[in-house]
Chains A and B, each alone.
Chain A
Amino acid sequence: DTAVSQTPKYLVTQMGNDKSIKCEQNLGHDTMYWYKQDSKKFLKIMFSYNNKELIINETVPNRFSPKSPDKAHLNLHINSLELGDSAVYFCASSQGQGPAYGYTFGSGTRLTVV
């Protein structure tokens, strides 16, 4: 029974399209995150939500919009996809917000924009 599940695992789409990546966690965690693995393999935070409230919104293009219908779900919607959006996107959750709560990661979504 997967703790943090992302769908789809792979996504190939054309420039200009709008796409969504879904994330669900069944751990009862309060906080969920989206991270992007950049071209140098670093994981960089994009957004976090705590109990459906936006907490972190890094300097991400506003074509990226997170949506959290409830605390178990955090979806990522991307408008007008560009070639540079190609990356692996990871969802994660943690028990609380703030120090010392380890993350549980999803398996990642590899987005390829052609």
Chain B
Amino acid sequence: ILNVEQSPQSLHVQEGDSTNFTCSFPSSNFYALHWYRWETAKSPEALFVMTLNGDEKKKGRISATLNTKEGYSYLYIKGSQPEDSATYLCASEGSSNTGKLIFGQGTTLQVKP
């Protein structure tokens, strides 16, 4: 994989459903994987930054896992709420020590009440 790819592109769930989406990234020269939450008409907001293989991070009902050997990360949302509706971006940071992020296109989540 040369680029950062996210799937699905969009997702509609009912309030209370749990959901997850995938981020695939180049596993060579890997340094960190970022997740951002981007609500309409706002700016992207950092959720997690993960660096170690097997890392798992949690913030409330949202959690993320990281597999650096195979180059993927999952974002999970437990018991989705309408306020979780947003685009979730992942970005890969390489080992060039410049802070440059390669972003995926995002997964847009719509949670219906």
B100 with A48: CB separation less than 8 A: yes
Q: Of the listed stretches A13-21, A68-76, A103-111, name the one at the interface; the rest are far from the partner chain.
A: A103-111
Interface centre among A48, A98, A101 (most CB of B within 10 A): A98
Closest to B45 in A: A105
A94 within 8 A of B: yes
How many A residues, CB 8 Å from partner? 28
Whether A44 is near chain B, meaning CB under 8 Å from some CB there, is yes
Does A43 touch B at the CB level, under 8 Å? Answer: yes
Which stretch (B67-75, B76-84, B90-98) binds chain A? Answer: B90-98
Q: A41-B106, A48-B99 are contacts. A107–B42 as well, Cβ < 8 Å?
A: yes
Name the distance in Å between A110's Cβ and chain B's nearest Cβ.
Answer: 11
- The answer to whether B51 touches A99 (Cβ under 8 A) is yes
Q: Which residues of B contact A99 (CB under 8 A)?
A: 31-32, 51, 93, 95, 97
Q: Which residues of A does B touch, CB under 8 Å?
A: 4, 31, 33, 40-45, 48, 50, 55-56, 90, 94, 96-108
